[in-house]
Chains A and B, each alone.
Chain A
Amino acid sequence: MKDVSDLILPENLRYTETHEWARKEGDEIVMGLSDYAQDQLGDIVFVELPDVGDSFEGGGEFATVESVKAASEVYLPVDGTITAVNEELEGSPELVNGSPYEEAWVVRFKPANPADFENLMDVSTYRTFCGDQ
C-alpha cells in the first residue's frame, strides 16, 4: 500500500472524502477514482456504469467498482445529470488501476449547481485527509 507521500494527486483536480476526483470542463465535470482509492481497492475486475441521462444527488451512489476484495460504490461529487460514461471501463476495468486520472475517467456530468464544485477539496486538503485515514 502506498504512503501518502507516494500518492499521485494532480494539482489541478478537486477531491471528495469518498476518494473521487473531479475536473471542470466547460459547464460539465469529469470525474473518476483517486490514486488513493485504486491503491486501497487493489485490482479492479469489473465496473458497473450508470446510463446517460440519469440524475443523482451529490454523495449519491451512481456506479460500482469491483475489486479483488469487494464491490465498492462510487459517489457523484455534487448534484448532477450524467452526460457521458466511459464504456472502455466495462471491457478494461484494470484501467482504473493503471491510469486513474486519464484513461479511467468514469463519467462526465452536468452539475445542477456549478458553484458546488468549489466546495470540493483541493489537493493539499485532500492529501492531509488521506493521511488521516
Chain B
Amino acid sequence: MSLDLKTTALHGWHVEKGATMADFGGYEMPLWYDSAKAEHLSVLTHAGLFDTSHMAVILLSGSQSYSLLQNTFTKDLDACIGKNRGPLVPGRSTYGAFLNAHGETIDDGIINQLAKDDYMVVVNAGMGAVIAGHLQDQLYEGVEVVDLTDRFGKIDIQGPHSAKILWKVLALPEVAFAELPYFSFKGHFLSDTARAKEITLKDGTPLMLSRTGYTGEFGFELFVPPEATEKVWQLLLDAGEDLGITPCGLAARDSLRGGAVLPLSHQDIGHWPFVRHPWPFALPYDASCDNFTKDFLGADALLAAEDAPYTYAFVGKDARKVDTEEAVVLSNTDQEIGTVLTCVTDMAIGLVDGEIVSIASPDRPEGFAPRGLCCGFLKTDRVLEIGTNLILLQGKRRLPVRVVTDVRPHRTARKAIKQMI
C-alpha cells in the first residue's frame, strides 16, 4: 500500500477479500473483487454494495446558507424539484456543480436540504476541503461551513433488490420507504441531530437513507456513523445473501455510470466551461434555454462562452475501448476533431438489429447474453448531430462509435419503491 494514500474503514475488508486496489481521489480503493463484469451485472439483476466512504460531505448552517448555495451552485434552488420545478425543500436533494468565475467546474455534487438554513453537500473524494474553502471564500456572514471528510461512512446499495435487502435491517422499513421518491432522503448519521431518530437500523444505529446513486439503477446511498461502517456493510451482505448481493469495486461503478450517461468530475467535466454537455438539467436554464433563471458564480462566463468545447456521449459497436490518454476523435473524413474523456465497457448491453438492448430490457431476445459495448464521453470543438458516426483512434486501433443521447436502456433509478419491495 502506498504510504501517501488514505483508506476507508472498509479497507481491511477489501484487502482481505483479495480486491485489486488502486488510487482513486487519494484513497486506496477496490477496483474489483473477483470479477468487475459479474459486479456490474449484479447491479442490473440483483444488488451491488459499494464502499463510497472516500466521498466528502460538507454541512452548511446559518441564515445565509441558502443564499451562499444559490449563488455558487449551478442549480436554481428555487426551481429544481419535480417536473413543475418547485423549490428545494427539507428532505429533498438536487444535483449540480460548483464553478469558478470562468464557468469551469471545481466539482459536482448533490445538495440535500436538512432543514431551513441547514444543508448537507455531498462532493467527490478529496474535494471536501476544496469546496468548503471555496464556499468560505465567498465571505458570507452568518454561515457555518463544516467539512466532514473522513468523519462518516458511506455505503451505496444499488440494484433491483436494494429495498428488499434494506427492509430486513431497518427498524421501521415501512416508515422509511413511505414517500421517498428519487432524489429525496430521510435520517442523519450524526446522532445529536434532529433527523437522526427518523431512520435507524434495528439495533438503533442512526443513518441517512438517500434515494440517490451513481449507477443509473434503483438504489440508495447510506451515510452512517464512521464507527458503524464495517458493521453496516456486513449486515447488508448478510441480509442480501439470499437475494444475490455482490460487493462491487470502482471499476463496476465506472462502467455502470458510463452506461447511465453520468459524468465523472475532473474527467468529463473540469477545467473548461460547464456548458454544451449532456447534463443541461444541472443548469438553471429558463424556457428559452438562452438564459438562466438566477445569477450564480460562473453564470456570466457560461453565457459568454462562445468558444467552449462540446461534450457528447458515444457508444461503440463492441466491447473494445481506447485509452483516453492517447486516443483522439476523428470525423468520418478522418479529420481530428477532439479527445476522449471517458471510455468504458458497459457489460450489460449489446446491439440487436442496431438497437441497444440491456440484460434488464423487457423486450430482450431469449437467451440474450451480450458481450458489452464501449461507451463514454468525448470532447470536440464543433456541434455534432446525434447519430453522427465517428472514429476513436489510438495507434492503429480504429473504433467506430456513434454520438448518442443515451446508452443503457431500461434503467431503474426512478422506479417507485413500492414496485421494488
Contact = CB atoms under 8 A, between A and B. Distances in A.
A94 B18 CA distance: 20
A46 B371 contact: yes
B347 interface: yes
Contacts of A42: 20, 31-32, 35-36, 251
Nearest to A90: B371
Interface string B303-334: 00000000000000011111100000000000
A68 B18 contact: no
A2 B38 CA distance: 18
Interface string B1-35: 00000000000000000111100000000011001
Interface in B128-167: none
Chain B interface residue count: which class?
Answer: 20 to 34
Contacts, number: 55
A64 interface: yes
B374 to A, nearest CB: 9
B37 interface: yes
A9 to B, nearest CB: 18
Contacts of A97: 35
Contacts of B323: 70-71
Interface in A38-62: 42-43, 45-46, 48
B18 A2 contact: yes
B322 A45 contact: no
Nearest to B15: A1
Contacts of B322: 71
A45 B20 contact: no
A66 B320 contact: yes
A43 B320 contact: no
Nearest to A1: B20
Contacts of B20: 1, 42
A95 B109 CA distance: 40
A66 B251 contact: no
Contacts of B21: 1
A133 B32 CA distance: 20
A1 B36 CA distance: 13
Interface string A94-110: 10010000000000000
Nearest to A92: B371
Contact of B319 (A2, A46, A69, A70): A46
A46 B320 CA distance: 6
Interface residues of A, number: 16
A45 B18 contact: no
A1 B397 contact: no
B320 A68 contact: no
Contact of B35 (A2, A43, A46, A48): A43
Interface string A65-96: 01011110000000000000000000001100
B372 interface: yes
Contact of B32 (A45, A64, A66, A68): A68
Given A42-B20, A42-B251, A45-B372, A71 B32 contact: no
B74 interface: no
A45 to B, nearest CB: 4
A40 B199 CA distance: 41
A66 B319 contact: yes
Contacts of B371: 45-46, 93
A67 to B, nearest CB: 9
B345 interface: yes
B37 A43 contact: yes
A94 B394 CA distance: 24
A47 B299 CA distance: 47
A100 B5 CA distance: 33
B112 interface: no
B256 to A, nearest CB: 12
Contact of B18 (A1, A64, A70): A1
A71 B37 contact: no
Given A43-B36, A71-B323, 12 more contacts: A1-B18, A1-B20, A43-B35, A43-B347, A45-B345, A46-B318, A64-B397, A66-B321, A68-B36, A68-B345, A71-B394, A93-B371
9 contacts: A42-B32, A43-B37, A43-B38, A43-B347, A68-B36, A69-B251, A70-B323, A93-B371, A97-B35
Q: Which 5 A-B pairs have the closest CB atoms?
A: A68-B36, A45-B319, A43-B37, A46-B319, A1-B20
